């Protein structure tokens, strides 16, 4: 096994955190948590490797203050909201999508800030799976006399934080496979050309996926054929770390990158240790098939174009031999669909309840 590590991030100026003050109005727990979820979305591109969290403070007089996670080393969402509310926090309720931390890392414990602010009620979306937190924050608040309730819009928040949760539970990144295909299942023509299957709107969506990912991966064959840069373009966001399976020329535009020649499982373990929460796989059919057959993909993002190659000599989504019998058919579940211009995006996740399904992330 051999790995060459040489990576520099290309970064763009992004808002450090979001602070908003809303007009007085009456909100219930679900409405307040929905505001927090929206705030968390705005932190997705800046908070990693920390989780993207939203927090909302509703004062006794009905004023609403919100905040979201800053860049690493900056204040967490709860602190941002508390600072925005200033002295109005006494007797207030705080809503936070993820359990407040109770340890000192790059910043101090959010639990102590909540207690010191005189907040009397804390509504938590989900318990933090991180072993440094995992219930400790809730216990600390309750010991201090703060009323704590959990589980408000938990399913929505679990989906929002899926890469973070997966990383904390498995110590590996959440793997997203993105493929563009024609309606007859082809990702390239017989001569290997694939630009462009989908339209501009779908290609812009790919830039968003890149900005949301900590690393992006392709095979050496894709680098030799297309010489891609794999950077974030035309939208706000940092370019992900670039990884190539195999060895490439020093002149390739994807450089500087990590060139990996070991196993995929070892790669995911290594990236997990380096706080890579989400890995975007944009390789061709050979790379896609390798991840798929080892059961390492957590989410499939398929962009379907209203187009046909008209034959069976083009490249398919997965290269190589498929199943021998329908009893071995891989089945997933569709979690979302949307139209992207003339194209359709379908997001599929593994159905672990299906017979013979591999458990994603454990390679079993």
Q: Active-site residues: which are they?
A: 78
The Cα–Cα gap between 239 and 212 comes to: 9
Q: Cα Rg for the chain, rounded, in angstroms?
A: 22
| Neighbouring C-alpha atoms within 13 Å toward the C-beta of 219 | 13
Q: Which long-range contacts (CB under 8 A, 24 or more apart) does 265-269 make?
A: 265/294, 265/296, 265/363, 266/1, 267/243, 268/172, 268/173, 268/175, 268/296, 268/361, 269/171, 269/172
CA angle 95-101-105, nearest 5°?
140
Angle, to 10 degrees, between the axis of helix 77-85 and the axis of helix 29-43? 120
Q: Is 71 exposed, middle or buried (0-12, 13-18, 19+ CB in 10 A)?
A: middle
Q: Which residue has the tokens 């017989």?
A: 190
From CA 314, how far away is CA 188, in angstroms rounded? 6
- Dist CA 169 CA 104 (whole Å): 21
Instruction: Judge whether 83 and 52 are in contact, CB under 8 Å.
Output: no
CA 163 to CA 51: how far, in whole Å? 9
């Amino acid at each position: 096994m051999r790995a060459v590590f040489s990576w520099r991030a290309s970064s763009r100026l992004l808002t450090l955190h979001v602070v908003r003050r809303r007009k007085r109005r009456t909100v219930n727990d679900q409405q307040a948590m929905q505001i927090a979820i929206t705030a968390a979305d705005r932190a997705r591109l800046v908070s990693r490797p920390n989780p993207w969290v939203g927090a909302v403070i509703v004062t006794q007089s009905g004023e609403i203050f919100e905040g979201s996670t800053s860049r690493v080393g900056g204040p967490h969402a709860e602190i941002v909201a508390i600072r925005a509310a200033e002295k109005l926090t006494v007797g207030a309720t705080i809503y936070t999508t993820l359990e407040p931390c109770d340890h000192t890392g790059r910043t101090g414990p959010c639990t102590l800030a909540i207690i010191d602010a005189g907040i009397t009620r804390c509504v938590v979306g989900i318990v933090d799976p991180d072993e440094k937190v995992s219930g400790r924050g809730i216990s600390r608040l309750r010991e201090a006399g703060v009323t704590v309730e959990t589980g408000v819009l938990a399913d929505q928040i679990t989906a929002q934080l899926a890469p973070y949760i997966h990383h904390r539970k498995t110590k590996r990144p959440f793997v997203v496979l993105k493929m563009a295909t024609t309606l007859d299942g082809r990702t390239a023509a017989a001569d290997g050309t694939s630009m462009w299957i989908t339209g501009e709107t779908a290609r812009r969506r790919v830039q968003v996926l890149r900005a949301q990912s900590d690393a992006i991966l392709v095979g050496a064959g894709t680098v030799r054929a297309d010489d891609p840069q794999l950077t974030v373009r035309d939208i706000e966001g940092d370019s992900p770390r670039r990884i190539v399976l195999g060895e490439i020329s020093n002149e390739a535009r994807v450089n500087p990158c990590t060139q990996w020649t070991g196993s995929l499982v070892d790669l995911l373990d290594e990236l997990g240790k380096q706080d890579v929460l989400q890995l975007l796989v944009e390789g061709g059919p050979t790379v896609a098939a390798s991840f798929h057959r080892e059961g390492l993909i957590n989410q499939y993002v398929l962009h379907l174009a209203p187009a046909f190659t008209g034959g069976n000599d083009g490249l398919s989504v997965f290269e190589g031999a498929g199943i021998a019998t329908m009893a071995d058919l891989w089945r997933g579940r569709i979690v979302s669909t949307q139209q992207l211009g003339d194209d359709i995006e379908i997001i599929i996740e593994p159905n672990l309840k299906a017979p013979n399904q591999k458990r994603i992330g454990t390679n079993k």
